[in-house]
Amino acid sequence: MANSSNELSGVGEAMQESLQCVEIAVYGKGGIGKSTVAANLSAALAFEGRRVLQIGCDPKHDSTRALMGGRNIPTVLDYLRDTPKEQATVEGILHEGSFGVGCVEAGGPKPGVGCAGRGIISAFEFLDRNRVKEGYDTIVYDVLGDVVCGGFAVPIRSEYADAIFLVTSGEYMALYAANNILRGIRNYDGDDRCRVAGIVFNERNLPDEKLRVERFAQATGLPIVVRIPRSPLFAEAERLNCTIMELAGRHPERDLFREFAQRVASGLDLRAANPLSDEELERCILYGEAPASGGAIHCGEASSEGAPADEGAPCVKCTSGASEVPAKMNEISDVQSDGSFQKAPTRRPALYGCAFNGAATTAIHLTDAVVIAHSPRACAFYTWQNISSPGRKNLFHRGVLMPSAISPNLECTQIDSHEAVFGGTDKLRRHVQEAVARKPGAVIVISSCVSGIIGDDVLSVERLSTPQTPVIVIAADGDIAGDYMEGIRMCLHEVAEALVDPSAAPKPNSVNLIGETGVANDLEINFDIFAELLGRMGISVNCRFMGNATADEVRNLAAAPLNILASDGQDNRELKEWLVSRYGLHFLDSCVPIGFNETRRFLEAVGSHFGCEDKVAPIVADEQERFESELAALRPQLAGKRVVITTINVNLDWLLDAVSSAGMEVAWIGVLNYLHRDLGITALPDKYPFIEPIVSFSEATARIEELKPDIVVSNFAFAVPPGDYIIDNMPMVQQVGFHSGIETLNRWVRLQQNEKQGIWIHDKELFEKYFA
């Protein structure tokens, strides 16, 4: 534990010799009188010959009013808001007050908008950049202490305040705020630094007030540096717009601040911050219970009057029994036999991207909507890249067009430092009004971390909806609402709630496709295959929710008599349950099929539902003929080849059927249980007894080196050892329909035939054709 003094003791004398600058922060609850204390202390220090700069760090911007003769000076934030950056100068924000005290007000946004803490940070950055503190030997920061957030804590960071005073009365909430400030200091300093100068007791003449403050001082090991009596002289000085130091005549209050200033100038005995818990504070202040250590809260620290505590007394923080510690640790950890502890595993799944990104990549598939990212430009840019990268890749490499990915309907309000301080709701409102005027099918607003943190009222723009253009707000707040998948869920729910008409007129012989993967290379190819198969049975697709769809198509979602999941993932199953409970939608038991046998069973189920079973057999016969023809061409090149498969736990019957039909041998299947459920690789596990779970990539590497296969195929990335075999990566979203397996076998044959230059040599032709 740190002792009661450190190298900063006597800092005033050292400063006077070296002309270094001492920086003092005055913290306290709003309305406790800290601005009065700060202004009078600055005046007294200047009266004693110090060159003083006072910086007000309260959005009320009245810290320097008494020093400025009642005049409100322009704040740094207002000045920066109204002045071009290249024209901003120190003279615009630095003003001279009584006794030559330099006066600066940081300022803040209007009440209820923006982030005052971020404003303090921006103001300090400007002051540092322009070296405003040069020429002063004493800096006094007057800081709001009700909320010790990152912004208001700037003055107590190590590069600013050398000494910190806590202004309080005997009121419980004033002492609560003082204790909270100690917590903030403790977060920065730990046990290593001593920067708390003590308590400024601003008396309110309350019952037992003196005893309350003394108990708090004793419990936290801090001295009461000065007691300021409740005096009508302060009200008189306020009426005259001046400090106590400027009043005519001799007054005890004036002498009190001169003595305070002299004490500051001659050196301060600084202490570590030792805040109380909420329970300790309540017992100490409200119930008058003595500290558990009998006053020796911290080794060598002072009593309320500044006298050192008995150094021989036991220190409650140093000598508390070891048996007490594990009880607290158990709340967050597992205590080991050696007394160490391990952090308990979190129950919350890892964040795979943020909710903002997930919502945006889903929302852009409402093709006639305007999607507005209420975010900094960089957030929207990264999301745009995430959306458009597969589109560019497919167009330039495969000649496949993905309209929503090539040119996503994504716009951005471009929140900058100005909105981060003053709030971005007005800017968002203007952007939404302009978008609504274009009369799109909908306007979708998605909030980012920044807008969530500064408290922008994004939901208010829903009032800008028109009968033609609803405004849909997804309050993702970056990753505050959750991860990427949570963003998708939020988007689907909010869009459905805003658009779906439960009473839509029935549309016979139609289906909805539910839960397509938003960013996938085969998204449009798979939809075309799906729609073509159903079209051959006389069935149309009513709505893709949310593949590419219009607002009207989503509005008529309930018109289709049957709904089909695009895939059988957990998120899609939850979406299905919600749509069933919310709108009474009916779902097919199976999802969009992959592979020949699964596609046959799927068409039979759809045919049974719509009463067109007779149309299934001819389709299956045609596809069987094509399947056998292509397989016959592939079998001579693949028969006898040995395959090793490494996979996450998804069904691969479509691939295993194709491999078996081609006369190939599956040597081993290693399953990484990425999805934390039953392995579920095949419906025929007895046929493949060599399916084994793996827990590390090294296991897969070892088996590949041992088995020496001809082909290694995987749907997750790992460093495959070098060898004389083909390596193929299965896409996470497979091509659907009868020929999924055949397409994979074709790819393996092409890989065997390729020269080292590969088929990518044709990319140049596609790039030159489509690049604009």
- Hey, which residues are catalytic here? 29, 34, 60, 146
DSSP string, 41-101: HHHHHHHTT--EEEEEESTT--TTTTTTTTPPPPPHHHHHHHS-GGG--GGGT-EE-GGG-
CA distance 585 to 514: 11
For residue 134, what are the CA distances in angstroms to 54, 104, 126, 343? Answer: 13, 14, 14, 47
Instruction: Beginning with the edge strand found earlier in the chain, give each strand of the sheet holding 665-672 in spatial order.
Output: 691-694, 665-672, 642-648, 711-714, 726-729
CA distance 677 to 409: 37
Contact 632, 661 (CB under 8 A): no
What 411-414 contacts at long range (C-beta under 8 Å, 24+ apart), as own/partner pairs, is 411/370, 411/371, 411/372, 411/373, 411/380, 411/435, 412/372, 412/373, 412/375, 412/377, 412/379, 412/380, 413/372, 413/373, 413/374, 413/375, 414/376, 414/377, 414/380
Q: What are the φ and ψ backbone dihedral angles of 369, each rounded to 5 degrees?
A: -100, 160
What's the length of the chain?
772
Query: How far is CA 667 from each of CA 684, 692, 731, 746, rounded to the nearest angstrom?
Result: 16, 12, 21, 20
- End-to-end Cα separation, the chain, in angstroms: 66
Sheet strand arrangement including 138-144:
95-96, 102-105, 52-57, 138-144, 22-28, 163-168, 196-202, 224-228
How far CA 743 is from CA of 330, 659, 726, 734, 739, in Å, comes to 55, 12, 16, 10, 6
3 state DSSP class of 718: coil
Tokens of residue 79, six digits: 């000045």
Written as six digits, the tokens of 45 are 């220090």
Residue 310: which of 4, 2, 1 has the closest Cα?
Answer: 4
10 Å CB burial of residue 381 (0-12, 13-18, 19+) is middle
φ, ψ of residue 96 to 5 degrees: the values are -95, 130
